[in-house]
A and B are shown apart, each in its own frame.
Chain A
């Protein structure tokens, strides 16, 4: 199976996100892949405001708020699997109340991670809206949840495992494995 270049997908969704930014926007990346993506997006925005003047109205938006979210404590499979052994603390230092949140994750699959992330997010406050941006939607949603910003849709089945990674230079890579068992 031919996988698209994740760097191209990132450029694509970065453009879509930039087009949606409003005065009260904030980015939240879901660990770990979503956080890498968010950091790249933020870098890109920093370059924008460093280069051009006010092409995206960066000045009138002020510094863009961002945070990270783990959602490990809100997962629905705790009773089956227990706590993940490595969870990083969520860090949302700004007030979520009335913000337009852009939630960023790498791969959208069943939708459960998004549900957990939203549950956690609502414990921080009441956002004005939440937009979900993902690099890849691999199909297989088990809940009535869908991403609004998508880099690519690639349909995979249950015994295929798609992972995003970044190399030592920070370049993104996709890896597809087939598991012999489901």
Chain B
């Protein structure tokens, strides 16, 4: 069946979403990322794989932190990096997405890292690039953030290697979260037997259980026997959209405090994709506490992104044996 992310021989062509990627591709990325964790610990943190190749960060939606990690990852692979913050200025000049992309293609870029406020934007761009260019989705609307999903399961794998025996809980605004969707797909594809979401009804998408998760509306039952807690960021707009009354009430009911953390297993790990809203979704003592692996996530994020780029960069375009 046609899968826009895979070449006809089953190798990775674009990374647009975790949904639809076979388990072996996910494992390939994670295993390759292991190699790159070691590279980051050396004095010379570079390898020559993407030497002479150009990676373009095309960010239609602003994000310094994600863009920076992609930039570091690309540079550690010896690639040249171009940063295009399209943001609002170019859009107000009326240039279409495709015109922006066509210009970069004409400049012989090899790989695009794309972030956009609309779901489906990365798929859209991937449909229009020529054969030799790969697209990496750095976040499209609410749909997917596959490198984040991958680095999150990489982190889980590192701390809790027995994935077939885990209970994972995602807490927070699943409705608006591309990170949540990617995490859910990655966890279920890799065979994690129990994936839970804990949130008020207003922050859950329709038929969310069909994604393979169990739904909880309270922390006490939701966190029971949980090994991994994945926090999601809460944005202020949710209050304005009549989805939540206040940040304080959210913290009271769904905020991860030491007390709520104690409902989970004693050796449960706490994760957060960042940036954190301290005192809203997570208490500082938990974020900075012994069970938090939030900072290692960032390190692994670079290794995972290096792995994705290294796999895509070595694609066999043009059929050379």
| Chain A interface residues toward B at CB < 8 A | 70, 72-74, 78-83, 85-91, 119-120, 123-125
Contact = CB atoms under 8 A, between A and B. Distances in A.
Contact of B11 (A72, A82, A86, A125): A82
A80 B321 contact: yes
Contact of B310 (A83, A119, A120): A83
Contacts of B316: 80-82
A82 B317 CA distance: 10
Nearest to A122: B44
B43 A70 contact: no
Nearest to B316: A82
B102 interface: no
A80 B34 CA distance: 23
Contacts of B32: 83, 87
B42 A124 contact: yes
Contacts of B313: 78
* Residue of B31, B35, B39 with most partner-chain A CB within 10 A: B35
A89 B44 CA distance: 15
Interface string B43-82: 1101111000000000000000000000000000000000
A44 to B, nearest CB: 28
A86 B32 CA distance: 8
Contacts of A123: 42, 44, 46-47
Interface in B5-57: 11, 28, 31-32, 34-35, 37-39, 42-44, 46-49
A89 B37 contact: yes
Interface residues of B, number: 24
Given A87-B31, A89-B37, A90-B38, 14 more contacts: A73-B35, A73-B47, A73-B310, A78-B49, A79-B320, A82-B11, A82-B311, A82-B315, A83-B311, A85-B28, A88-B35, A119-B48, A124-B42, A124-B44
Contacts of B42: 123-124
A73 B44 CA distance: 13
Contact of B314 (A79, A90, A120, A125): A79
Contacts of B321: 80
A74 B310 contact: no
